[in-house]
Structure 1
Amino acid sequence: MPKLSYNAMLDAHPVRVCIFFFFADLARLKAQLAKQKQPMPLMKDGKELPSPNSVISSSMKVLLKGDYCVKSLKQGVIQQIIISTKDDAKVLVDKFKLQFEAGKAVPCNSQATYVFDMEGHVALAKWLKLM
């Protein structure tokens, strides 16, 4: 199924699950670099680190079968995914070892949070062949 816009996802699916992917190490690095007015450094191989949106959008395209949307929050260091099927929720639980909480995040019926460290960010980007 296709990636939908945020509003189209809300209109099409009354029952929704939110997953928040927080790129914690990247958030700290960006804050530190902003204070020093420095650009984002390149990886050892000379390439840029793929953005959280790129990594999450690409992984959802590979992993999910149902409708979904991806929304960037907090200057891109948080990626909100909204899904509507139990099958897709199970795929993400298996991949990221998520635990859902009922009724936490509007506009969703349940939510989960996953925190990426820099190693996890790079590993997922490599798994997706983005690096």
Structure 2
Amino acid sequence: MKDITSSEIKATLRILKDLKTRYNANNLSKELGMTPMGTLKMLKRLHNQGILKPELIGKSTYYSVYLKSNYAKDFARFILQKEAEESVPRIKRWITELRCFGETATIGILFGSVTRSERYNDVDMVLVYDAKDNRKINEMLKERNEINVK
């Protein structure tokens, strides 16, 4: 495997995190500040590595992360962890808080104003877990709410 560039990481993150937008080389190039041809070459490289899958709709080719591939899943996990490690301190703090649910929850997603602004009133998070763990999660949340300042 060749080295992954920062542009490839940014493109994959954008495609992975923005599920409501279909990305092709033209509209992704505007988001990344690259030329459409450079973006197309990058998308084809990511496709050849098994990270992205193309979908032809009309005359346009749209790309999505190929989540049936274990390699693509591992790559997505890696770049999301890399993004978390390189984030600002306020986000790192809440990521640390989310990690305490790691034993019980399958997925934890932090979103909302805390990810965008220094001034936030609440912290929005989604936890995905088994229904049988509901009582344990609620106890953990109650404990965390008592410890953390509002």
Indicate the structure with greater helix content. Answer: 2
Query: How does the TM-score come out when normalised to structure 2?
Result: 0.28
Query: How does the TM-score come out when normalised to structure 1?
Result: 0.31
Report which of the two structures shows the higher radius of gyration computed on alpha carbons. 2
Relative contact order higher in (CA < 8 Å, ≥ 6 apart) = 1
